[in-house]
Amino acid sequence: MIPLSDENPTLHTPWMTWLLIGTTVAVWMIVQGAGSDVPLATSVCNLGLVPGELTHRAAIGLTVPLGDGAFCMVDRDPINRFTPLLSMFLHGSWGHLLGNMLFFWVFGNNIEDSMGPGRFLVFYLLCGLVAAGAHVLVDPSSPVPTVGASGAISGIMGAYLVLYPQVRVNMLFIFIIFFKVIAIPAWLVLLWWFAVQILTGLPQLTPMRPEVSGGVAVWAHVGGFLAGVILIKVFENRRLVAKRDEIREIEHPHRRLDLPRL
């Protein structure tokens, strides 16, 4: 399932959402060489979040492969303390970047519109930092660098679940060669996504710690999502949320569901 859009009108131009997307894409193009081997490996290794470097539980000099003959070595570089923030703007591939930016746009513009651009920026970064903390907590000695905006975007999705559970999200379903767009309530889309993250990550909590997540930091997603659920009531502008509800009722009266707001 791929989200394409939602039936949630906005009151203001979401310029902070655009700015964050633009910054992330610019980092990919300029710093990471649009995925070129050397810039990509260098940026991921030097600026990616390595739990073992932050906790000092990974031995200095320990190396991990990054593919195509490249290796990343654990060090004690002072920049490591900033990697929980820097890694939010890095990605590992075109697919990684485009997938994250699509989710960001579908859900982010409405959350920014519900709190204003300044609050939204702080909210986004804070959810990303909580997500990074969750990842470190689950695997504190890992020497593997992690990059991506998905932890912060997960926070946006958690906030969306709380504020707009009844809104329909247009989801693209792909089955071999068949494509169909279906409007589904946001609460169903987001709870399903969250359940998949939990089920994928549970084996990582066992003593054997099998690599079943495909290299995805699913507990960062879980941490970011829960941060969004908890923090949205601190950051929301209730006047903006109420105004948006009024407009949505006018534009989509047939979409109203008698579901309680979380």
- Give the separation between CA 245 and CA 110, rounded to whole angstroms: 11
Indicate yes or no: pTM above 0.85. yes
Rounded to 5°, angle at Cα 215 from 169 and 130: 65
Specify the pLDDT at position 205. 72
Whether pLDDT at 211 is above 80: no
Mean pLDDT of 158-184: 90
| Beta-ladder partners of 8 | none
For residue 179, name the pLDDT band (cuts at 50, 70, 90). confident
Write out pLDDT tens, residues 118-170: 999 999 999 999 999 999 999 999 999 999 999 999 999 999 999 999 999 99
Whether pLDDT at 207 is above 80: no
Cα Rg of the chain, angstroms? 19
Whether pLDDT at 90 is above 90: yes
Per DSSP, the residues of the chain read -EEEEES---SS--HHHHHHHHHHHHIIIIISGGG-HHHHHHHHHHHSB-HHHHHT-SPTT-EEEEETTEEEE----GGGGGHHHHGGG--SSHHHHHHHHHHHHHHHHHHHHTT-HHHHHHHHHHHHHHHHHHHHHHSTT----B--SHHHHHHHHHHHHHH-TTSEEEEEEEETTEEEEEEEEHHHHHHHHHHHHHHHHGGGGSTT----STT--HHHHHHHHHHHHHHHHHH--HHHHHHHHHHHHHH-GGG-------
Q: Look at domain 2-255 and name its CATH class.
A: mainly alpha
Write out pLDDT tens, residues 216-245: 789 999 999 999 999 999 999 888 888 777
- Give the separation between CA 84 and CA 151, rounded to whole angstroms: 11
Specify the pLDDT at position 208. 55
Residue written as tokens 């890095």? 90
Whether pLDDT at 96 is above 60: yes
Q: Which segment of 24-28, 40-44, 157-161, 258-262 scores lowest on mean pLDDT? A: 258-262
Contacts of 208 (CB under 8 A, 6+ apart): none
Specify the pLDDT at position 259. 42
Write out pLDDT tens, residues 16-36: 999 999 999 999 999 999 999
- Give the separation between CA 61 and CA 144, rounded to whole angstroms: 13
Write out pLDDT tens, residues 103-121: 999 999 999 999 999 999 9
Whether pLDDT at 213 is above 50: no
Domain map (residue ranges) of the chain: 2-255
